[in-house]
Amino acid sequence: MGAKINRPCQYKCAAFQLFSRFHQIHCISVSEMHYLVFLAVLFAGSALATVQEWGQCGGSGYTGDTVCTAPFVCTVLNDFFFQCLPAGSGTSTVSSSTTTTNKSTSTSTSKTTTSITTTSTPAGPSATGFVKTSGTKFTLNGAPFTVVGENAYWPALLGYSPTDNDKAFADIAASGATTVRTMAFNEVTSPVGVYYHLWNGSTATVNTGPNGLQTLDILIASAKTHGLRLIIALTNNWSDFGGMDVYTTQLLGPGHPHDTFYTNPTVIAAYKTYVQAIVSRYVNETAVMAWELANEPCCAGNTPASATCNSTTISTWAANISAFIKSIDKNHLVAIGDEGFINAAVAHNFDYPYQGDTIGVDFAENMGISTLDFGTFHMYPDNWGHSADDISWGNQWITDHATIMKSANKPVIMEEYGLTSSARTTIYPMWYNTVISSGLTGDLVWEAGSVLSTGETPNQGYEIYPTDPAYKLLQAHAAALKARDGSS
């Protein structure tokens, strides 16, 4: 057993890499074209008469038009993003465009000037409070909160217009989702497309411009409009959109073991600088549910693991970074973002996902870290050598994590799972039954798909578009989980 090990998520990474390749050869990919169109609209400024519903109409660093098409009202969603919405949608509206208030930490200068009138209108329930935990459950304002929904890595990264992102989040919300997991990283060595962290040799700069964090601002505001909470990962094990190996290579040179990322003080300091920039920008943002240290951290990467890397390497790192995040952000939950590998190789006949210690993730050990609020696991039976028994193997994988969840008394979510075959419409309901009956806290499918003005969002075979039969399963499952939890 374990002779042929398919690494997780290969398909999704193939598409990521395709996107990166467009960057490297400086072709204009379709996504970059979206981005250029988006910028053209953004910078058209005074050429535009008024902003349509859902469009941006202000915010720090924004230089475009500020007047909404009637009857929509320019509404302050956060310092960085004002949006044209129906009257009464928010807590404050922009009353004029003739006086200046520099109301943010941004260093950008604004050619359009705004004044903010904050009213005492209470925010809607979807906009209030931070998601917290209570035992193995999540709560919101003291009531049960069900984490169910989808992953969507693409909205902030592929340069979609704010209108298209709103459509994508509307599709996700209509599936019954409460929560979306997305990515807040893109390490680049030359500035192309949407990027967050630009490296020049060993010097990294956080991009706070319109093609950087302002894209994330818009995305977060859009999630809030649709009543969705975001789980946001801060770097990637994989090389898609840069990831850990970029830090190590830029700071220390090529050829270091992948796990140098977790142990080298210079690399840790640079990563913490990035984490601080993101986390402190959104520290008061209720639409953010949780920060994740990385997508799928493990010992091996583009370069092999060092001989000493084991699960202690990553749990030590995770304890350190999560404590750091808690020191600058007391509002949000923190998790690792790992695949939840279990350290029980012998008992499971060396089945790959149970070789946690070798891979570098010991799920049960990590659940004991006090500065981590919940646990995560991923599930790709077809990529992990279990295409012949994906129902029964998946049910066991869910049950094993639910057992550890109960002994750790913290929430656990199956935060990625997916199949590319049409058999998923019969297999997902089996897994959902196990999620519900095992008491597992929640789950997020890999991943959401939408048809936008530019066509389909990335389609790697896992995506569920609103017209897919599996979309109805998502709706039914979300309703069933909420009914189990007594949440609305």
Which residues contact ligand NAG (rule: CB under 6 A)?
7-8, 100, 102, 109, 200-201, 237-239, 265, 268, 283-284, 296, 298, 300-302, 308, 310-312, 320, 323, 357, 359
The nearest distance, CB 7 to ligand NAG, in angstroms, is: 4
At closest approach, how far in Å is the CB of 37 from ligand NAG? 26
Tokens of 245: 């190996």
Active-site residue (options: 296, 339, 415, 463): 296
Q: How far is the CB of 39 from ligand NAG (least distance, A)?
A: 20
Reading the block at residue 251, the tokens are 């700071």
Nearer to ligand NAG, 272 or 406 (CB): 272
Element (H, E) at 140: strand 137-140
Nearer to ligand NAG, 68 or 314 (CB): 314
Shortest distance (Å) from residue 309 CB to ligand NAG: 8
Burial 4-16 (b: 16+ CB within 10 A, else e): eeeebbebbbebb
The DSSP annotation for 270-329 comes to HHHHHHHHHHHHTTT-TTEEEEES-BS--S-SSSPPPTT-SHHHHHHHHHHHHHHHHHH-
Tokens of 194: 């949407």
Q: Shortest gap between Cβ of 399 and ligand NAG (angstroms)?
A: 22
Q: Which two tokens stand for residue 417?
A: 């799972």
Helix (H) or strand (E) holding 18: helix 10-25
Q: How far is the CB of 456 from ligand NAG (least distance, A)?
A: 26
Q: Which is nearer to ligand NAG, 238 or 431 (CB)?
A: 238
Residue of 32, 292, 416, 447 marked active site: 416
Q: Which residue's entry shows tokens 């530019």? A: 454
Closest CA to 177 of 137, 146, 140: 146
Question: Tell me, what DSSP letter sits at residue 246?
Answer: H
Q: Which residues face 290 on adjacent strands?
A: 231, 333
Mention every residue, 6+ apart, whose C-beta is less than 8 A from residue 275.
234, 291, 321, 324, 325
* Strand pairing class (442-445; 451-452): unpaired
CB of 326 to ligand NAG, least distance (A): 9
For the bound state, the minimum distance from the C-beta of residue 203 to ligand NAG, rounded and expressed in Å, comes to 6
The answer to whether 187 is a known catalytic residue is no
Strand segments, DSSP code E, in 148-196 are 148-151, 179-183, 187-188
Q: Measured from the CB atom, is 190 or 426 closer to ligand NAG?
A: 190
Q: Write the CB contacts of 255 (distance below 8 Å, at least 6 apart in sequence).
A: 303
Nearer to ligand NAG, 69 or 284 (CB): 284
Amino acid sitting at position 409: N
Which of residues 79 and 171 has its CB atom nearest to ligand NAG in the complex? 79
296 classed as catalytic: yes
Among residues 178 and 311, whose Cβ is nearest to ligand NAG? 311
Return the number of the residue (39 or 277) whose C-beta is nearest ligand NAG. Answer: 277
Report the C-alpha gap between 197 and 252 in whole angstroms: 17
The whole-angstrom separation of Cα 162 and Cα 55 is 7
Q: Which residues pair with 143 in a beta bridge?
A: 140
Q: For residue 168, which of 470, 447, 474, 424 has the smallest C-alpha distance? A: 447
372 is written with which tokens?
Answer: 């981590």
- Between CA 225 and CA 235, with CA 231 as vertex, the angle to 5 degrees is 130
Q: Which residues are catalytic?
A: 296, 416
